[in-house]
Each structure stands twice: as C-alpha cells, then as structure tokens.
Structure 1
C-alpha cells in the first residue's frame, strides 16, 4: 500500500483544480454514478473533559468512466489547539475496485480543507448576484485560510476581507499572511462576529462552535452565506432566507446533532422537491423549505438565484465523495495508480446514491 504524508499531499494538490473536481462529483451524484452511505460517528469525552469524535466517511464515485472507492477517517479533539496540535486530522484510504484491497493511504488534512473550500467557492459562484467584492469570515484557522486562499486566487473582484476569531491574535496572523500575497485586498480584523459579517456579500463561518450566534438581521439582502461549520447560524437565519441549498439532503436528514437536521426532525424543514413524499404535500408550511441540492444547480435541474436581493444560505454537510475523488485524482493522474481489470459498468440499484 502506498502511503503519502501531509507534505506529499500538499505538493500534489497544487496540480489539481479542486473546484473542477468537486463540480464533476456533483454531476456524477446527480446522474446516480455515486454511492454515498451514511457516515458513522464515534463520540466521547476525554480525560480532560473535552469533546472528541471519530468520523468514518466512505464513498464511491464514477467520473469519466473511472470508479474510485475509498473512505475518509478523520478524528478531532476540541482541546488540541491549546496543545499546539491541529483540531482534526486523519487519513483517506483508497480501495482497488476489483479486489477491494487497500492501495493507498493519504494524510487527510489538506484534502479535507481543500475540498471543503472548493465546495464553498463553487456554491458562491453558482449563487452570487455578482462576483463578490467583500467577504466576512468568522474563525481564523486552517479552514479559513484554505477558503480565503482559494477564493482570492480565483476572484480578482474581492477588495475587502473581514476576519474575526475569538483569539484575535489568530485573525491578525492570518490577515498578515494573506496580506503579504494579496496586496490589492484590504484585510480588516474585526472586533466581533457581527462586525465581520454584517453587510458583506459573502459570509463564511468556519468555527468549532455548537451554539448558534448569527441571526437573520446580520445578513444583508443579496448575500450568500455558506454555513461551513453547520452550527453558526441561528434558526431565524434559515427561516429568513429566500433560498436554502444543501449539498446532499440524505446526509442532512440523517444527522441528529447539527441545526438543520434537528429542525428537520422537529418538522420545521421541508426537503428539496425531488426528495418530497406525498405526505409532505399535506403538511403545514414549515419554517424552512430547502430549494435544491447543489448537484441540481450544476446539472440544471434546479434554478439558483432569481433576483439580486435574495438572501441565500448554503448548508454543505460535507460529502466523502469529494475527499475520495480528490484522493483518486492524485493517485491515478499524478502517482501512476492503475485501474484494475474486471471493472463493472453499473452500480447495483440498492447501492446507488441519493
């Protein structure tokens, strides 16, 4: 089995257009060329009273006639930053699709951060009224840096980035690092989360909070909010949005801990149109109606923004298909990994995505 370190992966990721990869994954998902099981999650409290968890996120995706199967295992402890360690880390494992044997292990941190940022950037490009000039980011860790670095490389329109972190020194250091590279952008270290996001055209919260704090009235007309962390928005930010978009409804509906999943379980969320049942037609109007999944927008099955003033919230739960596809791209295209003979040309019906 080939093993790649974080440094190996970082070097290879520079050769890959991550936004293009996640777009192709969404198209495959729209066309039932994926298998996306529910993730499994092990949670515990450690001997320091800190919350820990281990996620196992398998998936299979077929792009351009080539199938890639694998899983991401990523563990986290909320106390790690105080120890000088990354909050989360793990591996992506790739499988031979014929023998099911492990063929490659890759450090997951940069793949995970890169594909997460790519989904957010793609969602913004699909849903903004015009290329963003101002971005508000809450949280100044590795995920914030991955988002801003990718966005600023792609969007010359951006003139202002507002950053807030509970540890202000982190926001200062990130602003300084990015400011050295992106000299046409003004970086403002905001004194509060409200100051960071109010009146910006794109809001990206990337924190570890489990308590919401962003209300609807912080979000200006026309703004796209990509709820990366999943718990930063308050319920009225969803109910006050003109559109709510998710990456994969089945993952949101199965979740018992994050806000939108909890709201669904309490009857406050209507699924996107192609996931609705006859019983949904007779329900009282819920607080939130999910308009579409991202794959529907990319495939043309659903329409995104209809007016420049719409407030749009994107709630990307996180799909292992993207991690597996990115890792597969590195393995096959840049490391000489070979497909094995005996490939099937269809997915078994009971295994198909959605």
Structure 2
C-alpha cells in the first residue's frame, strides 16, 4: 500500500480463528506440503530456530505458556513468533487446553505484518508433521491404529492421517478421561466410518500405528515395554515413553538439538546412556535419503515441534487470506511510520 505521494505505508492485519479454520478445511495435503518444504529448508540451513522459551507458574505447575521465535528462509522468507498456552485445567471446564497467536514479521523491515489466531495452526502443523512421518517411515499401511489421548491434537492427527491415505478402519482410543475417549471414538465413527472403540492402554500400544497425544509431564509407559518390529509410534506428546523403551527402537527426531531438551523421552534417554547413539536421524534426513530405519526394529518419531513449521503454515494462510479478502486490516496500528 502507498500514499498519494507514493511513499510506502505500513499495514497490519488480523486473521481470526474462524477464517483460519475455513482456510484449512479440506486443504490438509497443502499443509503437509508446506511442512515438508519447511523441514527441507531447515535441514539445509535456511532457517533460524532458537530454543523455545517456557513461562511457568509456581501455583500452576501443569500450566505453561511457550514462546517459539523463528525465521524461515527459502520461498517463505518470513520471521515471527508463536505464543501458545497450555492450561490442562481448562479441560474440566469443557474449554480447549491450548490457545495461541502467531505474529508474522516482514523480513526486510522487521515490522510485524499480521497477527493470526494460531491454536488451529499449531494443531494443523503438528498433525501434518505426523502424517508426513507416517507416510515416510512406514512401508506398510497399518491395519490398526491406537490413539492415546482424546483431545484436539488427537482429533486433528486422525484428520491428517486420513487425508494422507492412512486407513482408520480399526482404531483403539484410550484416555484417562472416559468422556474424552468416548468423544473421540464417536467422532471417528461418524466422520470416517471407523470401527473405533474405547480400550485400555495396552490395547492402544499394541496397534500397528500408535499415536501418543497426551499432556503427560513424565513417562507412564513402563520401562519394560517394548514395541515390536514394524510398529510406528508417533510420539507427539514427547514424554509418555520411558527412555528404556526408546533404546529398543529406531528413533527419528525433527531436530536433534531441540528434542534433547526439557526432559522429553529422548532427552531422558540421552541422560540415561550419556550419549546420542540411540538417535537414528531426522525426518528430513530420511526424506533426503540420508537416513534409513532398520526393518527388524520399531520406529519412534519424536517431533519437538519447530517454530519454522508454524511460520510455514501461518505464512501460507496469510497469503491465502490475502487472496480471498479475509484479512482484517487494522488502520493506524503503527504510531509512527516515518523516522522524521
């Protein structure tokens, strides 16, 4: 945008949650493509992805708000930050556990250009990452799927797996909250015609494809548990598995340095062994043919969740919103747009 004199005018826009959801609907494959491209750009060194920053509260030990700053180069060329809260206590009130916003910054000026409601973006990029991993790391279509955790992330994971061609014919759902497990089960039956059933933890962990989508702060799956050869475990929530379980599997991460922090299961495995030999490689390494998993072992994919993925999906949504006229401009947002 320019003034009558031709000087550039700084603009700022908002993309609300309802528009984000509308733009995401039915475009799962597009989101997966954005995540794939972001992984490869990150792998090639075309990004800056600092550590996430955790704001915790002494009187709310299970709650946190996390800042994920990042820059993604390549065809995206945008910086930004996701500010996402996780308040598990909301679930008992029937409210979403997580809420988030994403700020996009113009790489040329550093100026923020948009604010996006990002709970849906965060869930979509997480699910797209999992669906991509499933198609890359599994040679066979799973006959059974076990889902541990019955929240928004689990629901979105199933949505993206279905879009990626992963069958949801036989699903076993487990959650400590029977209401959540029942809601997910009914959703899978109604939307996908799945023979979804509620079951215990053991039944879910025994499936060909296992999705871990909980809020567990520490491992609860026994240190004696071993997955069988050919099983694929999408360790989305990162802290469900004892480190001993990981040591008996091939371990694929999204980013080694990021994942081996904050007492994730892979971080615990590093502390237990004193090294990183248990890490097989990264998903981008597999995509590029630089890493291969062994057929005689299970595979565990542990994604820490990179801010560059939020930028990739957020910037794509920003462009879509601009094309469809969904951005809400905020006139006069910047107090000064000229230095003098």
CA RMSD of aligned residues (A): 1.9
CA 1:79–1:135: 2 relative to 1, 3 Å: same
1:1-354 equivalences under 5 Å are: 1-14=12-25, 15=27, 17-46=30-59, 49-64=60-75, 66-155=76-165, 157-183=167-193, 185-190=194-199, 192-198=200-206, 200-215=207-222, 217=225, 219-241=227-249, 243-253=250-260, 255-265=261-271, 267-270=273-276, 289-303=278-292, 305-307=293-295, 309-336=296-323
Q: Is residue 50–residue 78 contact of structure 1 (8 Å, CA) maintained in 2?
A: no
Q: Secondary structure of the equivalent of 1:335?
A: helix
CA distance in 2, matches of 1:120, 1:38: 21
CA distance in 2, matches of 1:246, 1:161: 25
Q: Is residue 133–residue 301 contact of structure 2 (8 Å, CA) maintained in 1?
A: yes
TM-score scaled to structure 1, two decimals? 0.83
> Which residue does 2:8 correspond to in 1?
none
Q: Secondary structure of the equivalent of 2:258?
A: helix
Q: Is residue 138–residue 165 contact of structure 1 (8 Å, CA) maintained in 2?
A: yes
Deviation at 1:267, TM superposition (A): 4.5
Q: Is residue 194–residue 218 contact of structure 1 (8 Å, CA) maintained in 2?
A: no
Q: Is residue 243–residue 272 contact of structure 2 (8 Å, CA) maintained in 1?
A: no
Deviation at 1:63, TM superposition (A): 3.3
Deviation at 1:80, TM superposition (A): 1.4
Deviation at 1:218, TM superposition (A): 5.2
Q: Is residue 173–residue 185 contact of structure 2 (8 Å, CA) maintained in 1?
A: yes
CA distance in 2, matches of 1:334, 1:54: 27
Q: Which runs of 4+ in 1 moved over 3 A?
A: 215-218, 265-269
Q: Is residue 74–residue 89 contact of structure 1 (8 Å, CA) maintained in 2?
A: yes
Deviation at 1:249, TM superposition (A): 0.9
Deviation at 1:83, TM superposition (A): 2.5
CA 1:217–1:257: 2 relative to 1, 3 Å: closer
In structure 2, stretches of 5+ residues that fail to align are: 1-11, 325-340
Deviation at 1:336, TM superposition (A): 4.2
CA distance in 2, matches of 1:115, 1:290: 23
CA distance in 1, matches of 2:118, 2:42: 22
Which string of whole-angstrom CA distances, capped at 9 and with x for unpartnered residues, describes residues 226-278 of structure 1? Answer: 1111111112210111x11110011123x2332322332454341xxxxxxxx
Q: Secondary structure of the equivalent of 1:217?
A: coil
Deviation at 1:82, TM superposition (A): 1.5
CA 1:158–1:256: 2 relative to 1, 3 Å: closer
TM-score scaled to structure 2, two decimals? 0.86
Q: Is residue 243–residue 268 contact of structure 2 (8 Å, CA) maintained in 1?
A: no
Q: Secondary structure of the equivalent of 2:219?
A: coil
> Which residue does 2:335 correspond to in 1?
none
In structure 1, stretches of 5+ residues that fail to align are: 271-287, 338-354
